[in-house]
Structure 1
């Protein structure tokens, strides 16, 4: 039962990673969003032709990771450090669910009318709420990343797992800094915001897989779990 429990949580995390990578469908669908410069969230905007499918992908991802996070927190925490990591994953999950329910109304990077409304401050409140939920999801993801990486060294996880964690975390944090910097320069300089964000998203998918590997290989089973 213990082995099955570990596999179930790990499988949920991997399934969550697959769902969070649903934006990759933009390379086979005619979305009209520039992957180098457009926000990934614009794929799920209310007026986009495939918006429903991208929003559903985020919704399912959030639900799946939330379940994995709750199970991980209750069964596979290794001290307070991993507990923080699991809680941060749960925050990410709920924020992602909220993100999917509060989509942008339009895509400013490929719609001049939407861009003009954005510049004039005439977009609906959902855009501001979406920005808040997206920021919450990113914060949860970063905290989870730092917490589990600290746990890898604090609890002396296997060398191969620590190296994997450092590599994935470096790409993820780098992508996050790139995205924030490009967003700050938006309208002044083209810093390929879309590419930076997609690097960040893909790296976090890898991070969910890393956490799944930690569940399988190192984190202890809490007493009373199955």
Structure 2
């Protein structure tokens, strides 16, 4: 029988995955942000009509995932691979929560005035801080996804879970590489930055669900000394 502790951690991760997918609401409400080319973070900019909604989604996601990460590191680490995975998950959660508190002030890809301010270096410090927290969250997510996928191979997890981990981590890497490359050449070439980032975000939500499944089915339980 699955312990209540495992169920609680898995539930926190699933809540985090759902909250982190709040960007999907852009297909329901009129955000005026191009989902193919616009940063997902622009949805939560302070000058956007529904910015508070998307910032709340990120805050809930960050807080629930951070708590799940701490509990997982304390109780459900199965060797060094999952320990690193849980720690990186904590980094992802904390950085995502901070990200929601340091939003962009405007949408650089859809607001010409905002883009002009960016080109002239007149955007507020919040944009630079947001870039730092976003990068930290992405780094934590990638490291956690890869180490949990590695753990599935190292510790002999069920084949279906191992294949799921491999697939999710592959999409995380592809989405992240796409986003980084597109951001680096933004303004010179149109390689659908928004689509690449949304693939990354969707993969991160899938990774959170994968970790919740690993907690329910395979990871060992300890007394917190690991």
TM-score (norm 2): 0.97
Q: Which residue of 1 aligns with 2:9?
A: 9
| Aligned mates of 1:182, 1:62 — CA distance in 2 | 25
**What secondary structure, in the 3-state scheme, does the structure 2 residue paired with 1:113 have?**
helix
For structure 2, the 5+ residue unaligned runs are: none
1:79-107 C-alpha deviation (Å, 9 max, x unpaired): 11111100000000110011000000000
* Residue matched to 2:48: 48
Q: Which residue of 2 aligns with 1:162?
A: 162
Q: Are 2:67 and 1:75 equivalent residues in the alignment?
A: no
Tell whether the 8 Å contact from 2:74 to 2:223 is kept in structure 1 after alignment. no
CA positional deviation for 1:221: 1.2
Q: Deviations over 1:6-25 (max 9, x none)?
A: 11111110110000000000
Q: Match of 1:16, SS?
A: helix
Aligned to 1:102: 102
Deviation, structure 1 residue 224: 7.3
- What is the 5 A alignment of 1:101-140? 101-140=101-140
Q: Deviations over 1:32-85 (max 9, x none)?
A: 000000000000001000000100110111110011011101110001111110
Q: Secondary structure at the match of 2:3?
A: helix
Number of equivalences: 225
Q: Cα RMSD between the aligned structures?
A: 1.2
Q: Residue deviations 1:146-195, cap 9 Å, x none?
A: 11111111111111101011111111110110000100110100000000
* Runs of at least 4 residues off by over 6 Å: none
In the other structure, the counterpart of 1:209 is: 209
Unaligned 5+ runs, structure 1: none
SS of the residue corresponding to residue 46 of structure 2 reads: coil
